[in-house]
Structure 1
């Protein structure tokens, strides 16, 4: 019992140490990313005066508008005020409509996070199933069939998949709505019915990457000496798989998820257009086209925060499931 307690304490200590190193890396990354993000306006040459007054505005009128927005102050002063606001969840005011950027982002982020979360769950479940079956049936026709399917799925654009899904399930079978969004507060069933098709369209890329990474990791684990030794000692295939192979081969697949979730949120813009959704990706696209710098800055900060947060979560999960994967983090 004392040995188990000591190992438990060592495991917790190792996890906290790895988490601390991750935070030590991500905090300066976030700070630098926000600085570069804020420098966007200065590098772009855009101004709220140009949007409000047009290209024929006089220098005096431009200076007056920029003074109202506080853009005549020193750059570092502007950055520090903006950065402290960001830490409090405030991203400024839209140049286009004068609305609060944080509110606008919140409206679209709920839609995109819903789709991305369901897409991640679907992609993970299907990808883990295919990757595990392919590894267990390696070098057989089952392995080759799954590998071929994953290869085809990986090159299918989400918008093409979305159109096909709408034609089949919304138009042909009339089982699901073809577009729109219903918040989960109005009913879980309605919420899921409206996001399942766009989520399924986005999940294909997750399925392909997770299945490939998991198969590779499991096959490599099966070749390790400790696995061969466990088989020689007569351990059951189930115990060998769950105690030795899965825990040591799952790391690359889990690490992939740390990248996939934030990218799903940002890559949903085309899918949102197809399904008539006003999400985070579409808001980012509209803001960029309109030259709404505060909105674009807010989008970038939220995107960085999503990447940092989800990678921290993945590191914690890796530390619990596959401790060896955290070496060198």
Structure 2
């Protein structure tokens, strides 16, 4: 019942957010002044030709009517048709999103595992040389751009050691786990550095603060073992900020990896978004924004449920 209550509260917040975000997204076409006629006919198109093309696309109807038709199509998974090539946008996004999700999920897993290990280790030895070394390390990797890390990884593992391919992508169902992992591990590592740094810093801060609480002193007085104190009390109370960080990081991993995808030759979601924006393909850009909003809303909903289930403060409604 507690999880259902958290789910209900989160949905009540995220539905209006999604509705407003889609409205703003659709309004971008009117604000941009772009038209499919300009793309198909060029700048020398006549007024009559432009009006005919826009009528074919339904752009001569009232704005709210256009928005409602588009929004109902979005709810059915239909994101429209590309102005550039007439292809179905849902299909185009699906092709690139599969690549980006493979890299983003692996980057998130690597970043979370390494971040939790480093953050926990630093929190268990606060003020020591090990703590300062970990803090310095995560500070350094937090300021390293993903494209620089990607180039270095290619030079080391693909060019120098010839252990991994330098680019390309092989779907999991075609090449199996080994070949798929060989193609996504380098871009995932390049993207995971920022996740490692943020998770480690947030977790260390949360755990150190939790160790200073009175309930930890009380648990020590009652004779509980350090292991039980850590897993039963400290970790559950101190991991909230680190989990909340993941809610922000995952969507950015999917959508903000344009440069990384260029380095590794990946036709991913970010690259599709960049190409669509440069071509002036407004329906494709709108589709990208809608999918991005949906991912942000969905992943944050999952994070809220996990927080409500794991952290005691959330269970008490704090």
**What range is the shorter-chain TM-score in?**
over 0.9
TM-score by length of 2: 0.98
The aligned counterpart of 1:272 is: 261
Aligned to 1:314: 303
Rounded to whole Å, the distance in 2 between the matches of 1:58 and 1:132 is: 66
1:251–1:325 Cα contact (<8 Å) kept: no
Give the equivalent residue in structure 1 for 2:274. 285
- What is aligned with 2:236? 247
Work out whether residues 96 and 292 of structure 1, in 8 Å CA contact, stay in contact via their aligned partners in 2. Answer: yes
Q: Which residue of 2 aligns with 1:84?
A: 72
Instruction: Report the Cα offset of residue 17 of structure 1.
Output: 1.4
Q: Deviations over 1:158-185 (max 9, x none)?
A: 0000000000000001000000000000
Question: Contact 1:108/1:280 (CA < 8 Å) preserved in 2?
Answer: yes
> What residue ranges of structure 2 are gaps of 5+ in the alignment?
none
Find the aligned partners of 2:61 and 2:110 in 1 and give their Cα distance.
49
- CA offsets 1:85-104 (integer angstroms, 9 cap, x no match): 00011011000011000000
Equivalent residue for 1:325?
314
Gapped runs of 5+ residues in structure 1? 1-12
Give a deviation string over 1:206-257, Cα, whole Å, max 9, x none: 0000000000000000000001111122211101100110010011101111
CA-atom RMSD in angstroms: 1.0
1:31 aligns with 2:19: yes
Matching of residues 1-329 of structure 1 within 5 Å: 13-186=1-174, 187-325=176-314
TM-score, normalised on structure 1?
0.95
CA contact (8 A) 1:315 1:326 kept: no
Query: Is the deviation greater in 226-235 or in 31-40?
Result: 226-235
Would you say the 8 A contact 2:251–2:292 is kept in 1?
Answer: yes
Cα separation, 2, equivalents of 1:284 and 1:326: 39
Is the CA contact (8 Å cut-off) linking 2:309 and 2:315 kept in structure 1?
A: no
